[in-house]
């Protein structure tokens, strides 16, 4: 099984208009290979006012999911985008930074 980015990981965007932006992963769609990153890839949506549902209308900015190929995991230890490696400790598989070997399980 491939080592994947998970919810609450910190990722960095490596291409597109938000290149270089960092954010927390809000959700991962493994079927569509898309990742929703906090404060990244905003898409403007025009909304109609719907007073019954308490929706004001106007232009709404919302995060939209990015393809997994556009993001890389960000290592808090070396402060760089990195690749996910793996290490087995006490029979448990751990995700580590391929550059410095720090565990990437923080916040998970």
User: 20-59 mask for Zn ion (x: CB under 5 A)?
Assistant: ----------------------------------------
- How many CA atoms, within 13 angstroms, populate the side-chain half-sphere of residue 52? 0
Rounded to an integer, what distance in angstroms lies between the CA atom of residue 40 and that of residue 85?
A: 25
Stretch in the footprint of Zn ion (CB under 5 A) among 24-32, 56-64, 76-84, 85-93 = 76-84
For tokens 């990722």, name the residue.
Answer: 11
Does position 104 interact with Zn ion (CB under 5 A)? The reply is: no
Q: Read off φ and ψ for residue 11, nearest 5 degrees.
A: -125, 165
Stretch in the footprint of Zn ion (CB under 5 A) among 6-14, 27-35, 43-51, 89-97 = 89-97
Cβ neighbours around 15 below 10 Å, total = 13
Does position 99 interact with Zn ion (CB under 5 A)? The reply is: yes
Binding site for Zn ion (CB under 5 A): 75, 77-78, 97, 99-100, 102
């Amino acid at each position: 099984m491939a080592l994947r980015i998970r919810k609450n990981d910190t990722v960095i965007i490596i291409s597109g208009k938000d290149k270089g932006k960092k954010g927390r992963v809000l959700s991962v769609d493994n079927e569509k290979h898309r990742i929703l990153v906090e404060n990244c890839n905003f898409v403007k949506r025009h909304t109609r006012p719907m007073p019954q549902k308490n929706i004001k209308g106007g232009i709404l900015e919302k995060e939209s999911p990015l393809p997994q190929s556009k993001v890389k995991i960000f290592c808090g230890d070396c402060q760089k985008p990195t690749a996910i490696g793996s290490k087995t400790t006490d029979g448990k598989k751990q995700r580590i930074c391929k550059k410095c070997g720090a565990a990437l399980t923080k916040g998970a």
